[in-house]
Structure 1
Amino acid sequence: MSWLFGAPPKKEEAKEVVLDDNSGVVPSIQDPTSNSNSINNNNNSQDVSSILQSQYLDPASLHPLAGLDKEIEYLDLDDEKLNTVSGTSNGILPSRGWTDDLCYGSGAVYVLGLTTGGLKGFNEGLKQIANNQRLEYQPFKLKLNTILNHVTKHGPQWGNSAGVLGIYYNGIDSMLDACRGVHDDYNSLASGFLSGLIFKCTKGPKAMGYSSVLMTLAAGTWCGFKRYVNGPPDGSERFQ
């Protein structure tokens, strides 16, 4: 009588009975919706794999000019990319121009100044600890703090000064190379002299003179070190 009240009759869901071939006795009832879910999962996995392998994700097709399809390229200084100014082949490291000289030169002297200043501060810290030890006992943490204070006081100061001198020297040296068309010891000595003058230009003539002389001696020492490492230059790279 349920049709009088408008309630539709219930339909039983069809279920598939699957017999186990191994046992032959115990049946298993499998819902047909599980098959559809597995089919959908397989389709989704195939869709993802096909998308990943499609040409739209190919690095070469995304941006051909960027060279994304190439392997990692390491720094390779080709002969045709090196500095072509006469006399530059006598350097310690191969150089591609004034940018390499400025980067390597200023960075090397900065590290050298930082190390030298740190050693000077370390020595002063040990001396102060020895003097204070005679007056009263000091714990280890206080001794360590004293050494670190002296190291951080002199290390950055020497490193920054050396880095600025390296920038002045390499900048002036590159300009002289471009103007004269040759890289020789004259350029190095002149660069050292001028960089010393500029570095102490606010301290008066006396400080400028001392600084220029010291920088000229340092430039001469650097030229001698290059000749010692690379051997005597050829005739085109000697003093002219």
Structure 2
Amino acid sequence: MLGSQFDVAKLHPMAELNDNLDFLALDEDKLTEMEGAGSVLPSRGWTDDLCVGTGTTYLSGLAIGGAWGLKEGMSRPLGPNPSMRLRLNSILNACTRRGSFTGNSLGVLAIYYNLTNSALDAVREKHDPFNSMAAGAFTGAVYKCTSGFRPMMVGAAIGTGAMGAWEAFKTFV
């Protein structure tokens, strides 16, 4: 259908593409072969996991933080008769403040988690829930390490619990 309307050879005549132009095709031979690594999203290794995991988490944090800022900006008292312009400014300021804070915080957590999880996968040569939970513990501990020992242990416990819940959820879905 596409070839009948457009001549793909005109994209770059020396490329000799003919009708072999495929978009968004994953090379099946480059997918990871690690035990337990098969999931809904095919992975070509730790770099794919790092990019997809961090990007998705960062964008989710922006959306969640933006919604939090929207609620905060709409409920902020602005005086007896605030203009629409003042209300809009309040909403935009709150969305920007909360969205960037939440997105950046979750993005950093995702980088820590994905790097640790990939390192554990490489060392143990398999991908399983224990790697995920250990990576969650390490991520929580590192994220809260500047607050002292007790908050660091609480962060590790929250990270372990969150990743344990995620692994349980993936098992049942």
Smaller-chain TM-score range? Answer: 0.7 to 0.9
**Pairs within 5 Å for 1:11-90:** 59=14, 68-70=15-17, 71-89=20-38
1:183 to 127, 133, 144: 127
Calculate the aligned-residue CA RMSD, in Å: 1.7
Confirm whether residue 102 of structure 1 aligns to residue 50 of structure 2: yes
* Structure of greater Rg: 1
Structure 1 regions of 5+ residues with no counterpart? Answer: 1-56, 60-67, 230-240
Q: Secondary structure at the match of 2:145?
A: coil
In 2: Cα distance, 1:147 partner to 1:206 partner:
36
Give the superposition deviation at 1:219. 1.0
Note closer, same or farther for the CA distance 1:58–1:95 as it changes in structure 2 (3 Å cut). closer
Provide the identity percentage: 43
**Pairs within 5 Å for 1:1-240:** 59=14, 68-70=15-17, 71-89=20-38, 91-128=39-76, 131-132=77-78, 135-229=79-173
Give the superposition deviation at 1:225. 2.6
What is the letter of the counterpart of residue 152 of structure 1? T
Q: Secondary structure at the match of 1:88?
A: coil
In 2: Cα distance, 1:143 partner to 1:149 partner:
10
In 2: Cα distance, 1:190 partner to 1:225 partner:
17
Q: Secondary structure at the match of 1:99?
A: helix
TM (norm. structure 2) is: 0.85
Structure 2 regions of 5+ residues with no counterpart? Answer: 1-11
Give the superposition deviation at 1:58. 5.8
Q: Tell me which of the two structures has the higher relative contact order, counting C-alpha pairs closer than 8 angstroms and 6 or more residues apart.
A: 2
* 1:92–1:226 Cα contact (<8 Å) kept: no
* 1:118–1:154 Cα contact (<8 Å) kept: yes
Q: Figure out how many residues of one structure are paired with residues of the other and give that number.
A: 160
Structure having the larger proportion of residues in helix = 2
In 1: Cα distance, 2:136 partner to 2:169 partner:
15
